[in-house]
Structures are given as C-alpha cells and as structure tokens.
Amino acid sequence: MEIFELEPKLMWKNFYMLTQTPRPSGHTEKVAQMLVDFAKQHGAEAFIDDAGNVVMRKGATPGYENRETAVLQAHMDMVPQKLKESNHDFVNDPIQTYIDGEWVKAKGTTLGSDDGMGVAAAMSIIEDETAEHGPIEVLITKDEETGMFGAFGLKADTLKGKYLLNLDSETEGEITIGCAGGMDVVCTLEYQEADVDPEGKTAFRINLKGLRGGHSGLEINEGRGNANKLMARLLFAAVNTGLATLCSWSGGDMRNAIPREGEAVVLVPEEKVEEMKALVEKCHALFNFEFSAIENGNIELTIEPCDMPAKYIPTEIQENLINAVLAAHDGVLRFIPTIPDIVETSSNLSIITIGNGKASIALLARSSSDSMKLYLCNSLKACFSMAGMKVKFEGGYSGWQPNTKSPLVKMMSEVYEKMYGEKPLVQVCHAGLECGIIGVNYPDMDMASFGPTLRSPHTPNERCLIPTVGRFYDYVKELLKNIPEKC
C-alpha cells in the first residue's frame, strides 16, 4: 500500500507530492514553484515574494463572505538527515516512504513530515471543494529549519489576515501558544598545520554512530547522547595521556539536530596502538552503559586503520579545542520556573568541522527568556574564546510570548472539545516556531500552532502517526468554519 492510498486521501496525496519534490533547506526553488503551480491549477492566486516565501489566496465559500481572513502557515523546507550508509541525494532524489503499522516513515532519511504535513493541509484546503471557509491566505515560508529566513524576510504589508493558524506543531491534541527564541553561536579559528612524521606512528579513523539524535528543541530534555560531546570525552582521554594526536574531527551537520554521528582521524604511536584500541573499547562500553535507557545499546564506536594524513593539528591548538568542546554547555540549562515541565533554556553543540587549518564549531542556544538566552550565549562565547576562537552570534530571534487571553485559542479549544469530547492541552514549547517573528510585523494578529503527531523529527527515524492526520485535517476544516465574522 502506498501512502497516497491512506485516508484522508487529499492530505496523503498532497503529502506524497511533497515527498516527490526535493526540498532540503537551502534548495526550495523546485517546491516553491510546484506550490505556485498547484495553487493556480486550483483557482487560487499565488506568488513567490521577495524572501522566497509562497503566498496563496483563496476567496470565501458561499455564506462565509463576511468572515475575517484566516492565514494558514507552514514551512516548505525539510531537514536533510540520513543514515551514514544511505546514498540519498536530498537535492535531487524523492523521499522513499513506507507504512509501518500505524506510522509512515522514510527509508534511511528524514521523512519531511516536519513541516510537510502542514504544507499538505494548506494545499488540501486550497483544493478541497467540500471545505467551508471565509477568505483564506496561505503562507509557506522558506528555510525555516536553517534560520527562519523566510519569516524574517516577510514584509509587513503581505498578509491581510487577522487570525494565523501555524501548522507546525507535533502532537495532535495540543495547541501551542508560545515558544523559545534562539541564537546561533558560531566559533571559528584558523591555525597553521604541522607536518606529520609518519615514522613509528599509525593513523586511525574513529567513528561514532548509532545515536538517536533528534530535534534540539523538542527532544533536548530527553538526555539523548550528543556525538560531539561523546567524541570529546574520548579524545580528551586519548590526547591527554599521550595515546593519540588529533589530525581532524567532524560531527553533526544541522544546527537544530542533536548530532548522531562523528568522526576523528588520529595518529597513534605504534607502541600504544593496543592501549588506544582498549580505550576505544572502554568508551564504547561506558557510553552504552550510561545511555542504556535512552540509546538502547545502539551506540557504535569503532577504530580502524586509515591512510596516513600529511598534517596534524598542533598540540596546543588540539588541546584547546578539545577542552572547549568538553567544557561547553550542551543540553538543558534551566526549566521555566513557573512551568517546570517545559524547558526554558538549552544549547545544542551541533556541528564540529576541524581540519585543513580551519576549525568551526556551531551551537544553537534557545530560551524563552531573552536574558537567559544572552547569559547562555555569553557563557559559550567565554568558553570558546579561551580556546582562541573568534565567536559570533547570528540569526537571533526572540521567543513567541503566549497570549493566555487569545480569542482564537478560546475558539480552538471549544471546537476541539466539541469534536473529540476532550479538552486540548494548551501549552508553550521549547522548539522554535515562526509565529514570534511574524508577529513583529503583524502585532495585532492572533496566532496559535497545532499539528498531527510526529516523532523524532530531524532524524532518519522521523515518523508520522497515521490516525492523527485525519483528525488534524478535520480540525483545520472545522476551525475555518468557525473563524469569527468581521466586526
């Protein structure tokens, strides 16, 4: 059975169309044009704005002409993560989906249900002749996953709607009314490499993989292993005991994904090869023991001979870099004091690239408190500055502050309870949503976020719970029927 045969067919057909259109962050031209063509094919106005966002407009159905305009908002890009053994090319290849019980998954890659499900819902409303609604605007933003560039580039006069439904939350039955802000902390260093004297040495490649990874906002509180931090522990022990000299190191490839894999090339004196191998075996066992309840014994840590590199990282530089990575905060820093179940402040030590005379280390700091976000960023800057690195803050944005008296949320709660016989959970989340950024230019717009149930976004284990998709789409349609009339 193919996913486009699932119910509701309109939603799954449109999601399937998205899986067949490559759309990794930074490469959204194809999907943007596909969305514009789709909208026009179904009689809607559509265009791509100066920031690369897709905007669609559809008139009211009979009897709903006097309703306020509602905005359906989602993002078109997806996180391009894959298993190491996968040959998938995100820029050119379609996503290969399959059904596993009640879940839809992808073969060896991220699925793109974040936020393909939100986009598919907006497409379906444009197409659905049975949907009843007032005037609709659809905003599909560009490159949300790499810095919310589409939302930042949205002009203040593009949208006319009074109510915005963000379709980018990941648990059905929840309504999100606030989220954390973020800041990229980018640390760089250029250094003079040293020539390798191969005599009496063996080169080894250390590989770390098998970690779950995950969304650095939604799953940072679960204590999942960070490949960069684990590799730092091994390298710290090896370098400081004279077992190894570091030549290169890489780990992670997305700012908002907990890194799942890492690799380092080291030089080992021939008389210490067995001791080095024993250290790797010890760390392998230790890491799996420490994370047994979280990573399920799936952490792989291996050491294999490799070609002799021509250069290595000078001793002082490699020690400083390893020390800084080991010392830098990663994970939850604080929970919201008044809502102790929700993370307030965290950091994700996301990307390490060291070699060829250059070192780059990237972290994503999140917080719903601007002062705590600044404190965390400054503490990371202090840490990496002591290693001689140049530190920049980039792409900063404030959180989306919750409006507990929102008329939209009151209506959404009432509609959900009437449809499903239970109250939805109204909450704030630690993930980054575009509502706060959009709200800067549209301060009077009432907003809320919701979606079907997704798990492990930003990883190759991303999956979408099939039964929640129908409930989600029915809810979207019912909400549009209940948008208030114009005053």
Please give the positions annotated as active site. 77, 144
* Residue type present at position 74: A
* Residue type present at position 201: K
CA distance 349 to 236: 17
Q: Which residues sit opposite 14 in a β-bridge?
A: none
Task: Determine which helix (DSSP H) or strand (DSSP E) holds 236, and give its type and residue range.
Answer: helix 227-240
Q: Which of 144, 162, 149, 145 is nearest to 439 (CA)?
A: 162
Helix axes 9-19, 466-481, angle to 10 degrees: 110
Q: Got the DSSP string for 457-478?
A: TTSTT-EEEHHHHHHHHHHHHH
Cβ atoms of 395 and 472 closer than 8 Å: no
CA distance 410 to 362: 40
CA distance 95 to 110: 8
Which residue has tokens 């109250």? 423
Helix axes 9-19, 113-127, angle to 10 degrees: 130
Query: Encoding tokens for residue 133?
Result: 């609604």
Q: Got the DSSP string for 17-39?
A: HHHTS--BTT--HHHHHHHHHHH
CA distance 320 to 326: 10
CA distance 464 to 18: 14
Which residue has tokens 């840590």? 301
Phi, psi of 435 (to 5 degrees): -60, -45
The β-bridge relationship of strands 136-141 and 70-75 is parallel
Q: Which of 450, 477, 453 is nearest to 466 (CA)?
A: 453
Phi, psi of 462 (to 5 degrees): -55, 140
Q: Answer positive or negative: Cα dihedral of 373, 287, 387, 197.
A: negative
As a dihedral over the C-alpha atoms of residue 429, residue 430, residue 432, residue 435, rounded to 10 degrees, the angle is 30
Find how far residue 412's CA is from the centre of its chain.
26
